[in-house]
Structure 1
Amino acid sequence: MHKPSALALSLLCAATLSACSSNTTPLSSAQRAQQLAQQYIIVDTHIDVPYRLHKDWEDVTVATKRGEFDYPRALAGGLNAPFMSIYIPASYERTGGGYQLANQLIDSMEALVGRAADKFAMAYSTQDVLGQFGSGKVSLALGMENGTPIEGKLENLQHFYQRGIRYITLSHSESNHIADSSYDLRRRWNGLSPFGKELVVAMNNIGMMIDISHVSDAAFYQVMQLSKVPVIASHSSLRSYTPGFERNMDDDMIKTLAKNGGVVQINFGSSFVTMMANQYGALRKAAAKQAGVADDEAFELEFRKKHPYPFATLDTVLDHIDHVIKLVGINYVGIGSDYDGVGDSLPIGLKDVASYPNLIEGLLKRGYSEADIEKILSGNLLRVWREVEQYAAQQKAG
């Protein structure tokens, strides 16, 4: 299915007067949203397909029974360029093996493209995303979630850049040799490690985006001081809706990110966007402890029967987007859904990659222009990626 360009749409209207005359019934907001989802590039900076398939393989070239991503649903939702997360669990920092796993996960995405070259294509640059737009192919970009596979070696950064990695989330759920994690109470480095500071400079120079999702506040501000180019939060939401949850960004951080030219890509997970869902796990663990039983899958099923999970809604996610825009303007927000990465906690109305038109319809109903919607869907992220590419090209030429 080819996405028509704006010019093609206007020519179609000119040629099909019956479809465009004032006598026809105007498109509903849902129909308009479907049209815009196909008309504009949609970039989602965090989808956990590689690790999902590593644990539980399915053929995502066709409709799947599990997960939130497959080719038919991506096509239906208008998703053009998902960043496939090369996710390395934090435990690999201690056990080793992260370098090998990262390469295996990259291999799996290349194999997917090899098996279904009519449906998928690798995307190593903004030009690849633009050039493949309208081809019917989903462009697979790669981001590494957790810098553990770098193993303190800049030659590994070069290796993974050559393999297609275009951003690195510096740490994950535990502090590593690069940066402290927002989840880790042990602040080993009080921000970035000495190697982490070196890595930020090297990532700038090589043309790889720096992702500050998951890092501690101190690490975030140190990245901001060091980076010569805009950075991203590939899948973060806002702390003003989840007070005390350091994994999200507070207003001062968003202002600093915007001053840097960066972009926060809003995570759709209910626990990232509402306080009730954010505290649900702690309440369940406390109940298990009080009952003197293990907080296992069986207990969770029973707990949910008595205490249904407080799913967020589409409007909650839209509130996060609104908040960023009211705080710093339209140019600094996008989407990083965390599909296939947040279990069954996705909001009502945003359950899988076929749901982007619902988000667009919500934006239309809140009065956003098409130009603004295009920035949220991809324009802001592509601007950052392009600036990172251009800076690296200048360094190489200089």
Structure 2
Amino acid sequence: MKRIGMISSLLCVLLCVPGIARAQTTASLWNGTTAPSPAQLDPDTTAVEVGVRFQSSAPGVLDKVRFYRDPLAPLTRCEVHVWSASGALLASSVWVGEGGPHVGWVTLDLYPDIPLAAGTDYVVSYFAPQGRYTVTDGFFASGYSAGVLSVPAGGGVYAYGPSGTFPTQTWNHSNYWVEPLVKLAPPETPLFARAYPGNNAAAVRWDAASGAQTYSVLRATSEAGPYQPVASGLTRTAWLDTSAMNGVAYFYQVRASNTYGTSAASYRAPVTPAPTAYSLWQTPAPSGVFASDDTAGVEVGVRFKSEVPGIVDAVRFYRDPGAPLEKRVVHLWDAQGVLLATGVFVGEGGPGSGWQTVDLYPDVAVQENTAYTVSYYAPAGGYTVTSQAFVISHYVQPLHVEADGGVFAYGPEGTFPTLSWESSNYWVEPVFRVR
């Protein structure tokens, strides 16, 4: 786009005051009571759509768009538009140009109001049928933020063409002085609250709520309540209640909060604490398996995650009755291959066939949503395997294995397994406890 002159972005930073530098119910990018400075009336007379790409770090409602009209600009009809990041038109409004009080910042109501998701890109723009828009070159040479609103570097956008052309082009990091006016809102209600029993403990889990800054957990011993807060200021989406007692029925609810308020409580999550061990399979003998005729030394295992914090204190694996009768060492690894714990199984016949449980030393505390691997070393091969078992993810709450989560590694005992083959399952699993 053609410009009269280059304006220093540093000068813009020094002279332009953000419209929101503190908590308030309406967020904007600039102070809409004074003229932008420095800024110029562009001499371009070609019809053009000019705007800004932005996002909000908190959910809200976009109900107005504001743009600056220079007193020397043509008195023409202007249309404002709101777009998704992909160019879908979400709302629009029309301003019929006139003089008098409509010189300077012009605010238009949108039809309809647009709910904004936190952390999502949107574009607001207006159509100048005879050009002559207000512009500051170099303003968006770097990212710009004002409270919860932010604009990326090069966030000023334009498009030549008829009204309603989605603006995607940039020129010289220009700012066209268009902004959203966003009514800020409390976060959404947390969804899918669930609880898992442990030994004198309960682990509570919920899905992240849009716009949440912190969470609080409430507890009752009756489904009808009353519910009392037992944790607050949480920034994670899982919490371990170590004050719960075995045999007592508890009901949990979760609320989300941000600067602008607190959500409604989630649906109730019931649980009765008791010593409980969790594993990936609940079958006495796996089906569709065979003992591999591979005779090379190999480490085989599974990569897993838990949705709540807890401990892994043992590893189970399935030993085919025809497998070699040899010592097997089990391992627990973190995602980077650091060995966290080991255990030793001394192979023998008879009752030593089938599922084997090997205690780990030491017990290992594991974090939610974090990848770990359990495995065992088969020095003469003969491991149990099922191909195509992990074509898709496998879930047995609170544990899950992502697609291709069965892993192996040839080499000496203690080689971290990272390879996968035909989405195979080697029938190895953690013994996980909330506490």
Query: TM-score category by the smaller chain?
Result: under 0.3
Identify the structure with the greater strand proportion.
2
Structure with higher Rg: it is: 2
Higher relative contact order (CA 8 A, sep 6+): 1
